[in-house]
Chains A and B, each alone.
Chain A
Amino acid sequence: MALRTCCRYAVMISHSRRDPFNLMPPAIDVRQARKRYGQLQALDGVDLRIEQGEFVGLLGPNGAGKTTLINLLAGLALPDDGQLSILGHNVVKQYRASRRVLGVVPQELAFDPFFTVRETLRLQSGFFGLRRNDAWINEVMRHLDLTGKADTNMRRLSGGMKRRVLVAQALVHKPPVIVLDEPTAGVDVELRQSLWRFIQQLNREGHTILLTTHYLEEAEALCTRIAMLKHGRIVALDSTQNLLSNLAGCRVRLKLAGCLPVALLPHVVEQTNSDYLLALPTYQALESVLAELRMAGVAVQEMTLQQSDLEEVFLRLVGRTVQ
């Protein structure tokens, strides 16, 4: 964890050195993006700015519009209104430049049954104008445990293996901006772990990552910022830490030498004898709790802070469970 933070710093520093006047375009810039499908407003004025080197989670219930937003970024769908750009390249007007710097892992599993894994990756390199790409293709296959299947026809791969190829295809051109649309849906634990190791390594090397996932622990562990989408609107956009602390507040477990002052009773979630679990709206509220205890003359024998997890934040904002 410490290593990761330290490396992220290195990325930021190298960026600021190269760009002392902050002229670097954001990795992803979405302004007032709107998209309608018939009667349904799939995206309703989305604003999202992601700086280079960030690792951002895009969360939201099914049908919130996550895939639609990604499709607009990738040029797979065209916006009704609004501006979207990747590293400063408008996705409609400068589509070739914007696609060259973007790697997308689509949500839907797709493959070409005429080719083997290696042929698929060579062909995809060719689509991106890369001729001799075998060294990188081999490295990507190694990271995704695909080396043993390099010469197997796509048709013969299991679903999980096909998903790995889908990830590999998105990475053939070493895109500075990588978007993954539920890459771990229905995928075994092993792949999830090797995939995250690889994606984190890419992020440390300076690649920007935007990720949608149904596994909130994943988002919590990986992403430094989180955007939450609901009914085609961004309902929260903040650092993961802020979301967890400000929005959901915190929980304090207290072991007291006496009784809890009456004023604090509304915060109680659980109580066994003199053990209390309090839910507080913010960390600041902790101060008043301690002040209240001091005034009542009740000594604190033990105190532990529990962080709420993203699941709670999610429930609060989106108002239902993820699946």
Chain B
Amino acid sequence: MLSFYSLLYKEVFRVWKVGFQTVLAPVLTALLYLLIFSHVLAQHVEVYPGVHYTAFLIPGLMMMAMLQNAFANSSSSLIQSKITGNIVFVLLAPIAYWEFFAAYVLASMLRGLVVGIGVYLAALWFAQPPLQFPIWIIVFAVLGSAMLGSLGVVAGMWAEKFDQLAGFQNFIIMPLTFLSGVFYSIHSLPPFWQELSRFNPFFYVIDGFRYGFFGVSDISPWVSLMVTSGCMLGLTLLSLALLKSGYKLRY
């Protein structure tokens, strides 16, 4: 257990030592989105009746930041350790593969949640979304960051170079987040894109998360819960299986 705790400590310590990049930068990015989109669109869009567009944006931006940062944390930590070679110290130690997994994912979740809270606090200055069902907010925040933390472990194991990881981020994570309804309700999309969005797991995470704030959503939060938990479970099992086999870590 102490091995796990030490690895978790190392992963968390790594984040805080460069807290400026890892926490403040994503908060600033989210604020810029908020500023620009709310300024441009606030007069034209009312997604849910009685919900101001700026307030509507906040949960989506929070979740987007959480997902991206949870992913970035485990994936970049792994690839850095692989490229600099210091992953050897973890590989030589009697750390079980599931302890390895748990440490990387928990550290990612922590970073995701802290960034999410940071975005929320900073955004309060612009608008104050209600907090209808805090339990749903917490559940989706935890599940979403765990899911992307696991995906980050898989991507970090798979990638051999930084640009492969950047490709993963730019061609998979970014499109999925942008097309998940961060900036709009999918009901405002043409039918084809609406259908397509239903295949995007990130859509369910954001929709369920938003339900916690406003008490309204595009689809039932229970459906979102099922899809999100299913994806998280699938990615957890995948990364555990890869770690157990030593995929690209133990040659």
Contacts and interface: CB of A to CB of B under 8 A. Distances in A.
B91 A76 contact: yes
Given A127-B3, A127-B94, 16 more contacts: A37-B251, A71-B251, A75-B250, A78-B250, A95-B94, A99-B94, A106-B88, A108-B88, A109-B85, A110-B86, A110-B88, A111-B84, A126-B3, A128-B3, A129-B1, A169-B89
A278 interface: no
Contacts of A78: 246, 250-251
A104 B94 CA distance: 13
10 contacts: A76-B92, A76-B251, A96-B94, A97-B94, A106-B88, A110-B85, A112-B89, A114-B14, A126-B7, A128-B3
B85 A99 contact: no
Contacts of B1: 129
B93 interface: yes
B161 interface: no
Interface size on A, as a range, is 20 to 34
B90 A127 contact: yes
A215 B76 CA distance: 39
B193 interface: no
Contacts of A74: 91-92
Contact of B2 (A75, A77, A111, A130): A130
Contact of A126 (B9, B14, B88): B9
A254 B13 CA distance: 70
A91 B187 CA distance: 56
Nearest to A127: B93
Contacts of A75: 91-92, 250
Interface of B: 1-3, 5-7, 9-10, 13-14, 17, 84-86, 88-96, 246, 250-251
A129 B3 contact: yes
Contact of B96 (A71, A77, A96, A112): A96
Nearest to B246: A78
A96 B100 CA distance: 13
B89 A124 contact: yes
Nearest to B1: A129
B17 to A, nearest CB: 6
B93 A124 contact: yes
Given A110-B86, A112-B86, A123-B10, A128 B94 contact: yes
A169 B10 CA distance: 15
A100 interface: yes
A130 to B, nearest CB: 7
Contacts of A37: 251
A131 interface: yes
Contacts of B251: 37, 71, 76-78
B250 A77 contact: yes
A77 B5 CA distance: 25
A123 B246 CA distance: 22
Contacts of B250: 75-78
Contacts of A130: 2
A77 B251 CA distance: 4
A99 B86 contact: no
Q: From A102, A108, A129, name the one whose CB has the most chain B CB atoms within 10 angstroms.
A: A129
A97 to B, nearest CB: 7
B227 to A, nearest CB: 36
A83 to B, nearest CB: 17
Rank and list the top 7 A-B pairs by shortest CB-CB distance, nearest first: A126-B6, A127-B93, A110-B85, A96-B94, A99-B94, A110-B86, A129-B2
Q: From B9, B17, B94, B95, name the one whose CB has the most chain A CB atoms within 10 angstroms.
A: B94
Given A76-B250, A114-B14, A127 B86 contact: no
Given A71-B251, A99-B94, A123-B10, A76 B86 contact: no
A113 B84 CA distance: 10
Contacts of B14: 114
B3 A114 contact: no
Nearest to B251: A77
A40 B138 CA distance: 52
B9 A127 contact: no
Interface in A54-101: 71, 74-78, 95-97, 99-100
Interface string A105-147: 0101111111000000001101111110000000000000000
A322 B16 CA distance: 47
Contacts of A114: 13-14, 17
A34 B21 CA distance: 46
A77 B92 CA distance: 11
Contacts of B93: 99, 124, 127-128
Contacts of B246: 78
Contacts of B92: 74-76, 99, 102, 104, 106, 170
B94 A129 contact: yes
A129 B17 CA distance: 24
Contacts of B17: 114
B94 A111 contact: no
A127 B7 contact: yes
